[in-house]
Amino acid sequence: MQKNIFFKKKNIKAQFAFPNIKIKKNFLINDVKSLDRAMINDVTFLDSIKYALSAKKTKGSLCITTKKLRHLLPDNVEKLIVENVLLELAKVLKKIYPSSDIDYPDFSLQKPSIRKYNSVKFGNNVLVGKNVKLGKNTIIGTNTIIEHDVNIGKDCVVGSNVIIKNALIGDRVVLQDNCKIGQKGFGFIPLNEKNIKFPHIGKVLIKNDVEIASGCTIDRGSVDDTCIGKNSYLDNQVHVAHNVKIGENCMIAGQVGFAGSSSIGNNVSIGGQSGISGHLKIGNNVKIGGGSGVVNNIPDNSQVMGYPAVPLKEFVKQRKKYDR
């Protein structure tokens, strides 16, 4: 059972977490997880029919959902019926992880110990938090900040003015200047009276042999993790939102933006200034032309372009029609 090393957790029972709703079994909550990852004594959530398959297989003990969706869940899972799933989820996350809705300053930051990190090369004005692990032969550039509990593998190169928090980074990873890794994502629940901030308890996972160019921003996950697969390359000023999964051997050109919870397959190429909407699935071996706006799922081995993105042959036909 993996512990959340980045956020302090409060141990509370289900009835305390949901005081206005009668809970059949008042168990001690282990964690809050997505449908796929939830196990016994975990709280999970179902807010869209898109996740019907995951709902049928979930092993969580209690699921926050709606009347319309409750039939998708197994009989042994207690259903917590609400009108606004994400609002209730935000409330319970805030109770269990009180510090997860804001990026508070890390007051453990200090100049790195040369004795502790004797095989690491540091530039000037580097600050490192408690319990940080840095692999052999890793290089850290000037004015970079690495916050508490971050792990960085061996033979990595981290540029100048980089901030890393809530992240586990593999071997031979390159993070160029001015990258920001692991900050809270853009998560709000719009209500009539005000917008409610959604806590983010996930982390960023960057696998081996990834290169992330200057000025990229990668948000940590909200409930799941944000992940960049091995041997992938992100060009300058790419933004990766919370919970996004980018596969292996992907090539992402400059100024591409990924909205939250989208899944990108292996061997995907995306042209510059493209936008990927949230909660989409992009298959393996997909090529997306520059400046495209992707608003629908894309199957394996597809080539698309345009706004909204359409198959490449259709895009070419449309252009020929307009050029007449």
* Residue 188 pLDDT: 87
Name the average pLDDT for the chain: 94
39: Cβ contacts below 8 Å, ≥ 6 apart = 1, 30, 33, 59, 60
> Residues 204, 264, 239, 243: is their CA dihedral positive or negative?
negative
The alpha helices in 59-188, defined as continuous H runs, are 85-96
Task: Give the pLDDT of residue 283.
Answer: 98
Residue 317: which pLDDT band, with cuts at 50, 70 and 90? confident
Q: Which tokens is 248 given?
A: 């292996």
Residue with tokens 């809970």: 23
The C-alpha atoms of residue 122 and residue 55 are separated, in whole angstroms, by 47
14-96: CATH class: alpha beta
The alpha carbons of the chain give a radius of gyration, in whole angstroms, of 21
Got the DSSP string for 214-228?
TT-EEEPPSSS-EEE
The two tokens of residue 108 are 């453990």
What does the pLDDT read at residue 187? 87
**Residue 1 confidence (pLDDT) above 50:** no
Reported as a single tens digit per residue, the pLDDT across 226-277 is 999 999 999 999 999 999 999 999 999 999 999 999 999 999 999 999 999 9
Omega prior to 308 cis, within 30 of 0: yes
Where does residue 279 fall: left (phi above 0), alpha (psi -120 to 50 degrees), or beta otherwise?
A: left
**Cα angle, residue 240 at apex, residues 217 and 312 outer, rounded to 5°:** 130
Residue 207 exposed, middle or buried by CB count within 10 Å (0-12, 13-18, 19+): buried
pTM: 0.92
Domain limits, CATH 2.160.10.10, in the chain: 121-320
Q: Where in the chain is the domain with CATH 3.40.1390.10?
A: 14-96
Rounded Cα distance between 312 and 109, Å, is: 50
Looking at residue 324, its pLDDT comes to 59
**71 catalytically annotated:** no
Q: Which of 148, 200, 239, 242 is catalytic?
A: 242
Fold observed for domain 121-320: UDP N-Acetylglucosamine Acyltransferase; domain 1 (2.160.10)
How far the first Cα of the chain sits from its last, in Å, is: 62
Residue type, 11: N
Chain segment 263-297, per-residue pLDDT in tens? 999 999 999 999 999 999 999 999 999 999 999 99
